[in-house]
């Protein structure tokens, strides 16, 4: 749908995220954070008020049962944008 902005995360539960998907997720997270776009389903990063973003990037990302893997990747993306 065109009314979803930022990145939509979906996937199966697995223990480890494959390196290729991890690299793509970090780059996607960096772009999203740079635009201050939302990452749906993750409360720590939200859309800036009054801004609209065009398009959706859908990443079919396998994540751990507790979401720990995706939190780790987003944390790395956040750190990468600050250095």
Q: pTM for the full model?
A: 0.27
pLDDT of 47 reads 43
Residue 63 CA, chain-centre distance (Å), reads 12
Q: What is the mean pLDDT of each run of 10 residues along the chain (83 residues)?
A: 40 48 65 56 43 46 55 60 50
Q: Which of 35, 44, 27 is nearest to 5 (CA)?
A: 35
Q: What are the structural domain ranges in the chain?
A: 18-44+55-82
Distance CA 24, CA 2 (A): 22
pLDDT of 34 reads 60
């Amino acid at each position: 749908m065109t009314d979803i902005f930022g990145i939509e995360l979906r996937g199966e539960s697995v223990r480890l995220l494959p390196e290729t998907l991890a690299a793509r997720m970090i780059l996607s997270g960096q772009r999203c954070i740079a635009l201050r776009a939302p990452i749906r389903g993750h409360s720590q990063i939200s859309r800036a008020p009054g801004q609209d973003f065009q398009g959706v990037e859908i990443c079919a990302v396998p994540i751990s049962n507790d979401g720990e893997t995706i939190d780790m990747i987003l944390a790395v993306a956040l750190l990468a944008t600050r250095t």
